[in-house]
Structures are given as C-alpha cells and as structure tokens.
Amino acid sequence: MEVVAVIPIKPLAQAKSRLAPHMEDNQRRRLVTAMLRNVIRAAREVCAEVWVLGADDSAKSVASGEGAVWHLEAGANINESLRQVFEEAWSAGKAPLFLPGDLPFIHPKDLTGLTPTTASNSLRVQPHPLQPRVVLSPARNGGGTNAILIPHQLPFQFQLGPDSLSRHVAEARRLGVDPFVHNSNGLARDLDTWEDLQEYESLHPGFLAQLTGEKD
C-alpha cells in the first residue's frame, strides 16, 4: 500500500504569527515557505505522492512548484479538513500520512522509520485489515503530534494542537488500536516560537540564512 503525505498549511502571510514581533513579515514568509519546501522534498523522496492542504494561492504556487498536489481546504477547521483528505486517500487505496509544514530538520529516513515495512527507499505498508495501525510521532515540546500514519480507514478524530499526542493515543485506543509511537529527531523538532529559532541558530550558526537562502 503506497503512502501519501498530507501537509496542511496556513496562508503564508498568516503562518507562524508568534514570530511576528521578532521578524519582518517578508522574512517570516520566507521562513515559512522554506520549511514547507523542505517537508515536501523529504516526503517526495519516500512517499508515492505529496498532497498539500490549504486555502492560499501563494501556498498553492509553492506546493505546485515542488511537485505536490494541491487540495483546497474544505472543512470548518484543520482537524475536519484533515479528516476529509484522509477519507479521500483511503478511498483511493492509499495510506495517508499527516505531516506539519514546519519541520526544518526533516530527512527521508525520519519517515521510513514510521513503519518497518519498506521497499527499498520507498515508504509502504502491508495491508492488514484485521490489524489496523495508527503510528504517531511526538513533537519535542508542547505534547503535540508531528506525524500521523493511518493505513486503513478508521473513524479517527483528529485533535491537532497543544497536548494532542495524548489525545491521539487515547483516540486510537478508543478504537481498539494500540498505537505505535515513533520518536524521530527530524520529526520532533518543529519551529513555532522565537525561542525555537534562537535555539536552532545557536546549535547551527547561520541556520536561518541557510534555510531561507538569505545572504549574510
């Protein structure tokens, strides 16, 4: 069963609003765009398809330029929209994988570790209808969830946001599934706050300039 990555993205001008007091709008937009491209490129290395979910023409242009398929966000909120797109993937016989668009250190190997069933460098899962699977990857801060792989159709209710990992674990167990939690450095290190950015810059001097292609 082929895996399709699903990456929701806010309108680029509105994304990462917590960085707004510390960064000019254009710089913040370049950062958001660079991280989105980074996630798409990593996912394209190992996933059969990459779908980007949003409602912004600028984000659509970035996604299309990276070879991703654009899906217009149709739900009342991100959790509802994600549910709809997962249903679409299941109907097409694909295994949907949620990824956030703000993972500056993601690498294809972070994704192949989500399931032990791989074919060469491609992320695939073996269908076992009687043994449904839910794979979750935690964010390093805030108890969030930075990857959700659900190969088979389940009435899973997404609850993205702070402390979502514990809620997603509970949701899987409510459905009778023992979730597998995949810990990965590249998936765990998202970028939400100014403190995150400062930490990454201290660990990797020139991090922001390198990611966004800015000159010193």
Buried b (16+ CB within 10 A) or exposed e, 43-67: bbbbbbbbbbbbebeebbebbeebe
- pLDDT digit string, tens, across residues 136-177: 999 998 899 999 999 989 999 999 988 999 999 999 999 999
For 37, residues 6+ apart whose C-beta sits below 8 A from its C-beta are 62, 66
Percent of the chain with pLDDT over 70: 91
Task: List the domains of the chain with CATH numbers.
Answer: 3-212 (3.90.550.10)
Tokens encoding 112: 């192949």
State yes or no: pLDDT of 50 exceeds 90.
yes
- Cα gap 162→182, rounded to integer Å: 18
For 111, the enclosing helix (H) or strand (E) is helix 108-112
The radius of gyration computed from the CA coordinates of the chain, to the nearest angstrom, equals: 17
For 194-207, what is the mean pLDDT?
93
Phi/psi region, residue 78 (left: phi>0; alpha: psi -120 to 50; beta: rest), is alpha
Over residues 6-24, the pLDDT tens digits come to 999 998 888 888 988 988 8
